Chain A
Amino acid sequence: MAMSKVKKPVKPAASQRTWAIGFIIAAVVMWTFYTFIMFRLPYQVQTIFQNWLPPTKLNEAMVWVICALGLNIVVGYAGLLDLGFVAFWAIGGYSAGWFMSAFFRQVNWHVFSTVEPTLPGIHISFWGVIFIGGLICAFFGIVIGAPTLRLKSDYLALVTLGFGEIIPQVFTNGENIAGFNMSNGTKGISPVDNIGVPGRALGPFDFSWKFTIFALLTAMMVFISLRLRTGRLGRAWLAIREDELAASMMGVPLMRTKLAAYSVGAFTGGIGGVAFATHVNGVFADRFNFSISIILLAMVVLGGMGNVWGVMVGALVIAWVNSTGLQAMGDLVNTSLHTSINFPSYNFVLFGGVLIFMMLFKREGLIPESRLKAIMHEGDDASANLEGHH
């Protein structure tokens, strides 16, 4: 039965629909609450919400979700470990810095931009820049992937790690590359143009519009991830993840398929980078470091590699814990128990512990994907009987 060809595209399972509806409802509720209800509440209640989940942090969490979904395509779908995803985030961010700001004062190009036409620099509309940034990232993904994707998995991890170290350093030192100021060095590029929507230009603090836009981008990435997974390419990725040799015997072109995973993942990372640049209204080189790559990986692993909704939940939870959650919970504990523990300083051990214990006891993540669960526990019974293969 499994052998028979499936001509029709597989319909998304009912659970997918439930999750999608859940996402839409959650987004609408959040939007309504923060746009119409929050400022009517009494001042004390508002402070509580500002401490536990301020609107800007919600937007930032959306950016993390977008990037985590990109990494999920590389790690979760295709099974290629990428430890340098921050490189794509940085390149996306600098695309926004180059094409949406007054940085290149030498020229005066305006493409569908809502800023003053007299302002110097390259000003392309946000909607164009997310594609440009994504494409630049996809290009770099292919450049770094093409020579190295035939390597063994852990060598590949190392190469991506090196790439994730090189790119931020290039941007940090990019003030003077043979006399050309590429990145404005440690000062960074700020401000970045606001997002233009038909008829108006959004200010940097226009929370609810940005929330709508980021939620839409996230929804788009979720849609793309889900459609790709059921399609021909997605099934090829899963086949490679499960057994590379068998997949190549069945006629899956390994290099092309892996490169596709790399470039799609990088494209998504680029979109996240552009979105983040508009969120913080600038790009700053020192923000891009190894810990971002690791946090993204932790999001994917914690949520459930390969499962889009799991990754989304993992990303939201970790982004929240990192930004305000840990601080707010710590304050609550401190005030109720009269202690003075600096909770955010336990971030390192929290992360490390979560990664270790997840791998030891729940390798497939909180909301696992059924196929991946089977793979992750493949070796478990083999240790019991030694003649079993490994």
Chain B
Amino acid sequence: MSIFTSGYQARQLRRRYLERSLGTVAAFAILFWLTINFLKSPSQFFQASLIGLSNGILYALIALGYTLVYGIIELINFAHGDLFMLGAVFSANFITIWFGKESSGPSAWGVFFLCLLVVMTLSATVNVGIERFAYRRLRRAPKLAPLITAVGVSFCLQFVGLRWNGSGPKTWDTVLPAGAFHISGVSIDYTTLFSFAVTVPLLLLMSWIVTRTRQGKAMRATAQDQDAARLMGINVDRTISFTFALGGALAGAAGLLFQQTRGLTSYNLGYQLGLIAFTSAVMGGIGNLQGAVLGALLIGLIQGLNDGLPIGLGQQWSQTVVFSILILLMAFRPTGLLGKPTTEKV
């Protein structure tokens, strides 16, 4: 017995030592890379960070949907990214085609906020419907089954996007105020400010719902133990539906913001962005709401710096960088940055 324990402990110690030294080396390498770039061109450094952060806040909206659903029923909802894509395609049609708004102005902003409400409601409804028809029956099935179902739903949503948006990417005019202001060489777009102004209140509202309301309490209880929650009189099915509605609404808002700030829609948008958003959710510690936002901002920042800095791998390696970070993180810290180590439910 003692031999086993000491061998085990030695291995654990060696593992921990290895992890720590590798982590330190990596941290110093990144710091070195950042410093060189900063000294070379400070304005470019800040510009890249800004672009990265404005991407990151968008990822945060999508990542929250992943983390909410995973937190409550432990399912990687592969269809979530495609819901975001549908939100973007819907917003483009709503604002540009149905209301004919192609330039900035007070009435156009009114349409924008109307679209925000409509797209959030619609995505929430679609997400609840998906849960009702595809995932609910599989709640007690082996994990593989709902996961494969989610992939199937993702394909169906992509088909809708393909039909609606066509096989190629489409560009759209934005109704957000154009132009930018400059602070010592760094240009800040008004659209960036606008997306922050929409996203931050949404995130605060989300956090208020989950931590302060009765429904939020029910969500947390269901996430901890479904059977116990049911015994306490919580309607588990309704709580799970509510969670999907919340996640769907955020994905819809993200779709609108993406379409308006980038002016671009494409049917396979959801796959790439969804993957990145899920990576950020995992990075922050899946199931942890603050973690998802932190992870999303970090991933956005990393991507922005990698793509925009003078000495970097450049845009064509963007995916590789993000997923390498994911794999390394999974290997060394699977609980994420803010996640607490949990014991597996048996």
- 0/1 string, B123-158, CB within 8 A of A gives 1: 000000000001001111111111111011111111
Q: Is the CB of B331 within 8 A of A148?
A: yes
How many of chain B's residues touch chain A, expressed as a range? 35 or more
Report how far A375 CA is from B142 CA in the complex, Å: 8
Q: Is the CB of A148 within 8 A of B152?
A: no
Return the chain B residue nearest A390 by Cβ.
B140
Report how far A152 CA is from B334 CA in the complex, Å: 9
Q: Is the CB of B141 within 8 A of A379?
A: yes
For residue B346, CB closer than 8 A to chain A, the reply is yes
For residue A245, CB closer than 8 A to chain B, the reply is yes
For residue B17, CB closer than 8 A to chain A, the reply is no
Q: Is the CB of A81 within 8 A of B151?
A: no
In chain A, residues 146-198, which have Cβ atoms closer than 8 Å to a Cβ of chain B? Answer: 147-148, 151-155, 157-159, 161-163, 165-166, 169-170, 172-173
In chain A, residues 112-162, which have Cβ atoms closer than 8 Å to a Cβ of chain B? Answer: 144, 147-148, 151-155, 157-159, 161-162
Q: Is the CB of A148 within 8 A of B275?
A: no
List residues of chain A with CB within 8 A of the CB of B258: none
Report how far A7 CA is from B329 CA in the complex, Å: 44
- 0/1 string, B295-328, CB within 8 A of A gives 1: 0000000000000000000001101100110110
For residue B227, CB closer than 8 A to chain A, the reply is yes
For residue B162, CB closer than 8 A to chain A, the reply is yes
Report how far A353 CA is from B151 CA in the complex, Å: 10
Q: Is the CB of A162 within 8 A of B230?
A: no
Report how far A297 CA is from B74 CA in the complex, Å: 21
Q: Is the CB of B142 within 8 A of A351?
A: no
CB contact under 8 A between A162 and B326, given known A346-B159, A360-B138, A376-B142: yes
Report how far A285 CA is from B18 CA in the complex, Å: 35
Q: Is the CB of B159 within 8 A of A158?
A: no
- 0/1 string, A350-369, CB within 8 A of B gives 1: 01111110111001000000
In chain A, residues 36-79, which have Cβ atoms closer than 8 Å to a Cβ of chain B? Answer: 75, 79
For residue B337, CB closer than 8 A to chain A, the reply is no
For residue A10, CB closer than 8 A to chain B, the reply is no
CB contact under 8 A between A353 and B152, given known A169-B317, A348-B162: yes
Q: How many residues of A contact B (CB 8 A)?
A: 51
Give, as a whole number of angstroms, the nearest-CB distance from A27 to chain B.
30
In chain A, residues 82-124, which have Cβ atoms closer than 8 Å to a Cβ of chain B? Answer: none
Most buried by A among B137, B139, B148, B230: B148
For residue A260, CB closer than 8 A to chain B, the reply is no
Give the secondary structure class of A's interface.
helix
List residues of chain A with CB within 8 A of the CB of B316: 169, 172-173
Q: Is the CB of A173 within 8 A of B317?
A: yes
List residues of chain B with CB within 8 A of the CB of A147: 327, 330-332
Give, as a whole number of angstroms, the nearest-CB distance from A122 to chain B.
26
Q: Is the CB of B154 within 8 A of A352?
A: yes
Q: Is the CB of A359 within 8 A of B271?
A: no
Return the chain B residue nearest A349 by Cβ.
B159
Q: Is the CB of B327 within 8 A of A359?
A: no
State which of A151, A355, A360, A380 has its C-beta within 8 Å of the C-beta of B155.
A355
B residues neighboring A (CB under 8 Å):
74-76, 134, 137-149, 151-159, 162, 227, 230, 271, 275, 278-279, 282, 316-317, 319-320, 323-324, 326-327, 330-332, 334, 344, 346
22 residue pairs bridging A and B, Cβ less than 8 Å apart: A153-B144, A154-B76, A158-B76, A161-B275, A163-B327, A165-B275, A169-B320, A170-B320, A245-B346, A290-B271, A348-B158, A349-B159, A352-B155, A352-B156, A355-B155, A356-B134, A356-B152, A359-B148, A360-B137, A363-B141, A376-B142, A390-B140
